[in-house]
Amino acid sequence: MSTDATTKVLVLNGPNLGRLGVREPEVYGSTTFAELSDHLIGTGAALGLDVEVRQTNHEGEMLDWLGEAADQQLPVVLNPAAWSHYSIAIADAVAQCELVIEVHISNVHAREEFRKHLVVSPYATGVIAGLGLGGYDLALTHVAAVTERD
């Protein structure tokens, strides 16, 4: 893991999260993805983290990013979105990473039955679900605390 004064962290977001603020605001809120990104970069800076926020609707691109994180030993905050429920490829990529905090904006366990099955979670270091966008802040706080100790 990086021991620089400022630890680089990838905040990776899966399908449809680029539509935050528009897609089901009753579930995901009215904050846009751009607003979330700006907020997380600022939160990271306050915690001594260099946060890079990315979003993709393409599974192969996400796999490349997780491979980058594994190769560079970068901590990851990951919202795999729909891939949480079925992507063995994403699960395998997460298993190669040293530190991954999985974040879900909604409480997936209180939603449709298919959302309760999470194939990525067993490979994550930790999982935060149902705390809205604040779950990202908690994940970054944890990353800062853990990397500070290293």
Q: Which residues are catalytic?
A: 28, 104
Per the CB < 8 A criterion, the answer to whether 6 and 49 are in contact is yes
Return the closest-CA partner of residue 14 out of 107, 76, 70, 74.
76
Cβ within 8 Å of residue 61, ≥6 positions away: none
* 15 Cβ contact partners less than 8 Å away, ≥ 6 residues apart: 56, 57, 81, 82, 83
